[in-house]
Structure 1
């Protein structure tokens, strides 16, 4: 017994060291991918933390209109997810990630340069149009960014510790949001409320330019995903007439036209395949992000501004925000390990149930005690931080697993971004309206969002068990392992004539 225990302990230790080495190698090779993801979420979040200044400079003091300006970015995200996603599925993950970071950089820095109504009515109107246009551009690129990054990491990451590798995306998201909150806070502390309202709100957008350029240049040097290259090579081999057709077209001097036509045909075929064969998976992906998108933008974003307007000290808010983000980051290795051991669907369901049970109580604590440091730290910092560690750090893998490599970029881009557009982008505006209509409304919305994602997970597992849907295309097991039972593994075993034993 003693010798066996020592051997098992040594194996476990070696496995942990191997996983750490593989994750660190991924970080060294693909640092530009992750730096760009930090900037994506920084650039996307900074508007929300500067909402009061946009409210006064562009939206005539209307909070709901200002949050609608925030939501317009989300409206563009599904379009970006499809366009940049299809580009990634045809030309490669490297191309799509370069396009997304470059467009986001223009959209973000540009927002810091637009004129406001303080410069006059005409200048303000032009500035408002430019602001909305740049936010649409930012939304298009952000929609393509997250699909490309999550697909890239899934395909190049080690399969034995894939969830821990994907936790890097969750970590960079939190770092980006935390950086946006810290920069906004520091700008206010250094400049004061009057100068922030006049011109200081521009600085957080402008300083994103330098690291954005570094990430953009770094992405040009990243290696392409081998999994994508193999899938593309297999597709070429499966079309034996393609080479002959290209030779004939070149001899006729029309190769460029044929190539353009073949690219359009490939894009059309990708979309037909995605919408025709994987519409159920798209619906599962949309439902899967309801909890995290509502918690992110209704809980962590709107509640921050809500507390500020109800008298919470900026020091209290920055302490609570840092606590929530740091706690999520510190817990991410644990949640990644848990997903690698128990399965990504198991962790996803657990996080959704946590939000269902605690969303309303945590909101009520903030509603009743907005000026109490202990209450804000407990509810916003610790409560939201822990829940986000379970709902927002590994869910990328859950969505990526729904689609095969041939349509993965576009599938993730469409399902993820529709979900985040509907339930995340409009969350601050809906929460604002719900609060004015019924004080407890935002809390009920948080709990309802968790319930929707929990039910989506359970229904999808049932569909997988009955053979009507394939949920996993990358790493079949573990997916939902509890008490030695994994519905995905069981379904795969039942489909085989001479099934081997499956260890979960």
Structure 2
């Protein structure tokens, strides 16, 4: 079975993870698209305060990455994904229920406190969600087409953004501006309830990864006869992370600068900016569809390049694209905000192409930095700290810098590209000196020959097609038990037999 069959099997078995990922990015995008209504309802018309409230979600993400990451490394990836989806659901739907300043000053103050608290809960659960999902897909996906499986996460991210934009746009068109300011802004948050419940139900029965189960078994053997303590184990994992994997943490944090700024600066904040500059609603919705649609269409291309040439090569290419195009694309877009064609070309096509090569497989780049024993918490911490710094504060930096100099946000975008490109090159240098292992899952391809092949678990034989027969029956039996409410664990070996 080829790469398409590999990817299809991942989608077929782990659809609930991907649906939850859509929900995660939907909720963050909705916060950005509805920023003008939060500005008038909660933050007394202050754009800076509104984007600070937006950033509060990101400040909580590293904490969630640590807590749910440790839980995932101790008790399984399934546990952390199951907990995170409920927290995200409460945090998202709850934001649609909070009182506003229109109900009085006391109610307005309570509303702001509740809004920030719900966004913090949202951030905590999302911090663990993306780490667990990306770790899961990496560990169960066939190694020969790993990047092409991982682009499913990038695709669902963009689907989430598209759905958020459609929900915001549809609510505005149906209800009108006055009703949106009054109460209509709540509707897009309520729309997350049904898919959230479906995703949570589906996650009850997802199979655990073989890599985690083997690591857990090895740990049990080495600690046979010794008393076990979950708290002690958690502290040990965090201590090991900071003691032996500091370079990997730093690389993981800095490597997401380009995609974080692109998502929440170039795409989220610029959308609000263009509205203020007089761009028509039709041009904005068309530009958003073009940007996300291009990224989705080009995602398989990006995955194939990463599988053939190496994930580091693709990350470097995408980062350089942002570094070069950041300033000129922003200036051209801003100076032609009232031109429908210009908005579609510079916002839609310009950012869409960069997004395809910057944001489709960066999850794989971060996940591969850490060994299986601390992978969940390592990804959760590095990824979320990076997104907190570069993504959470991107709209705030853009808003403040734009007031000082209209061209400043474009410089910020280019600098983010330079940071990621420099990080990739630095990581390759560190690996050549034996300081860092970049590829704990598959050594090749990775831009150049890897110096840590001996540390990488490679099991290419399991990526080959084998006879289905009774193994398919075994999987059917597992799924039947799951439907009856009997929680089961299916290893990656079971999954590979389907291939």
TM over 0.5: yes
Which residues of structure 1 form unaligned runs of 5+?
Answer: 1-16, 246-258, 481-485, 496-504
CA deviation map 1:25-74 (0-9, x unaligned): 11010000100000111011101100100000000000110011100000
Residue pairs, 1:423-502, within 5 angstroms: 423-480=390-447, 486-488=448-450, 491-492=451-452
Distance (whole Å) between structure 1 residues aligned to residue 98 and residue 437 of structure 2 = 47
Residue pairs, 1:100-499, within 5 angstroms: 100-242=84-226, 245=227, 262-480=229-447, 486-488=448-450, 491-492=451-452
C-alpha contact (below 8 Å) 1:461/1:487 kept by paired residues: no
Match of 1:21 in 2: 5
Q: Secondary structure at the match of 1:115?
A: coil
C-alpha contact (below 8 Å) 1:163/1:337 kept by paired residues: yes
Alignment CA distance shift 1:80-1:492 (3 Å)? closer
Match of 2:477 in 1: none
Q: Secondary structure at the match of 2:436?
A: coil
Match of 2:34 in 1: 50
C-alpha contact (below 8 Å) 1:90/1:266 kept by paired residues: yes
Q: Secondary structure at the match of 1:241?
A: coil
Please say if 1:82 is aligned against 2:76: no
Distance (whole Å) between structure 2 residues aligned to residue 207 and residue 341 of structure 1 = 40
Deviation, structure 1 residue 472: 1.0
CA deviation map 1:234-273 (0-9, x unaligned): 110111223xx5xxxxxxxxxxxxx6xx000000000000
- Return structure 1 stretches of 4+ with deviation > 6 angstroms: none
Which residues of structure 2 form unaligned runs of 5+?
Answer: 456-499
Count of aligned pairs between the two proteins: 456
Q: Secondary structure at the match of 2:20?
A: helix
C-alpha contact (below 8 Å) 2:16/2:202 kept by paired residues: yes
Distance (whole Å) between structure 2 residues aligned to residue 440 and residue 452 of structure 1 = 19
C-alpha contact (below 8 Å) 2:437/2:452 kept by paired residues: no
CA deviation map 1:387-434 (0-9, x unaligned): 000010100000000000000000000000000000000000100000
Please say if 1:93 is aligned against 2:77: yes
Distance (whole Å) between structure 2 residues aligned to residue 131 and residue 463 of structure 1 = 43
C-alpha contact (below 8 Å) 2:443/2:453 kept by paired residues: no
Q: Secondary structure at the match of 2:443?
A: coil
Name the Cα RMSD after superposition. 1.3
C-alpha contact (below 8 Å) 1:344/1:397 kept by paired residues: yes
TM-score for the superposition, normalised by structure 1: 0.89
C-alpha contact (below 8 Å) 1:464/1:487 kept by paired residues: no
Q: Secondary structure at the match of 2:2?
A: helix
Alignment CA distance shift 1:306-1:332 (3 Å)? same
Distance (whole Å) between structure 1 residues aligned to residue 256 and residue 301 of structure 2 = 21
C-alpha contact (below 8 Å) 2:51/2:396 kept by paired residues: yes
Distance (whole Å) between structure 1 residues aligned to residue 256 and residue 121 of structure 2 = 22
Larger Rg over CA atoms: 1
Match of 2:17 in 1: 33
CA deviation map 1:76-96 (0-9, x unaligned): 000000000000000000000
CA deviation map 1:110-157 (0-9, x unaligned): 000000011111111111100000000000001110000000000011
Distance (whole Å) between structure 1 residues aligned to residue 4 and residue 206 of structure 2 = 21
Distance (whole Å) between structure 2 residues aligned to residue 95 and residue 374 of structure 1 = 47
TM-score for the superposition, normalised by structure 2: 0.90
Distance (whole Å) between structure 2 residues aligned to residue 307 and residue 77 of structure 1 = 28
